[in-house]
């Protein structure tokens, strides 16, 4: 079914089934219905956002690392200093693998 602007104006979000309520709050009614069209009738699992953005976050940490700013990066990204060291050390390991692998 095509979701037209005319149809959207007639929909009362409160009358939609329960799973739609939170989705409507985040992406609006049109977005919620588009998600339903794409995934309706299936089970969709959303991993925690931390897992979804981890690689991008680690890349930023590696770019911002100046050799001494473990504590500042730990505060900024709400991680422990030892975790920052792990992220920075993994960058060095990955570079070696790429150069010699």
Q: Binning pLDDT at 50, 70 and 90, where does residue 99 land?
A: very low
d(CA 85, CA 47): 25
DSSP 82: H
Neighbours of 16 (CB within 10 A): 16
Q: Which tokens in the block code for residue 56?
A: 């991008």
Residue 98: what pLDDT? 42
- Spatial contact of 20 and 32, defined as CB atoms under 8 Å apart: yes
The domains of the chain are located at 5-39, 49-100
How is residue 73 written in tokens? 């990066």
pLDDT tens readout for residues 37-86? 899 889 988 888 888 899 999 999 999 999 999 999 999 999 999 999 99
Give the span between the Cα atoms of 56 and 66, in whole angstroms.
18
């Amino acid at each position: 079914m095509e979701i037209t602007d005319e149809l959207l104006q007639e929909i009362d979000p409160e009358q939609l089934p329960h799973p739609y309520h939170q989705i409507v709050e985040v992406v609006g009614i049109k977005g919620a219905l588009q998600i339903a069209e794409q995934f309706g009738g299936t089970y969709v699992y959303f991993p925690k956002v931390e897992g979804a953005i981890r690689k991008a976050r680690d890349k930023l940490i590696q770019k911002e690392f100046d050799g001494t700013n473990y504590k500042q990066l730990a505060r900024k990204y709400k991680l422990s200093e030892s975790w920052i060291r792990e992220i920075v050390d993994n960058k060095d390991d990955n570079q070696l693998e790429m150069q010699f692998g």
